[in-house]
C-alpha cells in the first residue's frame, strides 16, 4: 500500500564510487543483493564477508564469471569469517579500512531462533556490536544496519535481538 521509493542513482553513485565497501552476511539473500547493487556504482573495492562457505563460493562464481559483473572491473574480496569472532573481524577491518559498512549478517528465521535463542543473541546482538564498534574504531564514514520489521514491538526472540542491535547502533 506504499508508494515505491525511487532511488536517486547519482546520489547513490556519489556515496559509493571510489569507496571501500564492506558487506557482512554477503552471501545471504539480502547481503548478496546489496553486493550486486554496489557493483554497479564503481566502488574502489568490495569486501564481502560471510561465514557460510558454499553460499559465498556461489556468490564468488557469479560475480567473477557471469555478466554483467565479470566485466565491471571492480576489485572484490570474498572472506569466510564470522562476525562473532572479534579477533578475525578486527584483522579484516585493519586490512581493508572500509569506508562504508553494510551489516546484513544476522539470523533471521523466527521459528529457528525460538529454538536457539543463544545463537540469536550471539550473532544478532554481539556480532552487530563487534562490527559496529570496529566501524567506529576504523573511522568508517557510514554504518548501515539491515534490520527487520519484526524488531518493531518484538514478539519473538529474533525480533528482540534485532531490536537490541538497533538500539545499540543508534
Q: How far apart are CA 39 and CA 52, in angstroms?
A: 21
Cα separation of 5 and 10, whole Å?
15
**Which cell goes with 137?**
574504531
The three-state secondary structure class of 133 is helix
Beta-strand ranges (E) seen in 95-137 are 100-103
Q: From the candidates 129, 137, 150, 162, which is the catalytic residue?
A: 150
Q: What is the DSSP letter of 152?
A: S
Cα(168)–Cα(162) distance, rounded to whole angstroms?
Answer: 10
Q: Which DSSP category does 122 fall into?
A: I
Q: Residue 14 catalytic?
A: no
Q: How far apart are CA 53 and CA 65, in angstroms?
A: 18
C-alpha triplet 49, 161, 156: angle, nearest 5° = 125
- Which residues are annotated as catalytic? 150
Amino acid at each position: 500500500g506504499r508508494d515505491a521509493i525511487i532511488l536517486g542513482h547519482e546520489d547513490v553513485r556519489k556515496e559509493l564510487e571510489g569507496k571501500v565497501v564492506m558487506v557482512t552476511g554477503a552471501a545471504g539473500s539480502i547481503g548478496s543483493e546489496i553486493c550486486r547493487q554496489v557493483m554497479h556504482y564503481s566502488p574502489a573495492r568490495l569486501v564481502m564477508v560471510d561465514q557460510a562457505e558454499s553460499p559465498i563460493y556461489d556468490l564468488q562464481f557469479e560475480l567473477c564469471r557471469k555478466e554483467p559483473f565479470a566485466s565491471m572491473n571492480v576489485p572484490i574480496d570474498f572472506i569466510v569469517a564470522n562476525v562473532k569472532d572479534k579477533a578475525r573481524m578486527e584483522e579484516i577491518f585493519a586490512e581493508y579500512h572500509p569506508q562504508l559498512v553494510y551489516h546484513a549478517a544476522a539470523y533471521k528465521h523466527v521459528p529457528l531462533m525460538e529454538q536457539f535463542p543463544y545463537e540469536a543473541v550471539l550473532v544478532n546482538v554481539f556480532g552487530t556490536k563487534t562490527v559496529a564498534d570496529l566501524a567506529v574504531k576504523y573511522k568508517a564514514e557510514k554504518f548501515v544496519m539491515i534490520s527487520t520489521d519484526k524488531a518493531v514491538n518484538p514478539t519473538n526472540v529474533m525480533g528482540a535481538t534485532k531490536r537490541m542491535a538497533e538500539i545499540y547502533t543508534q
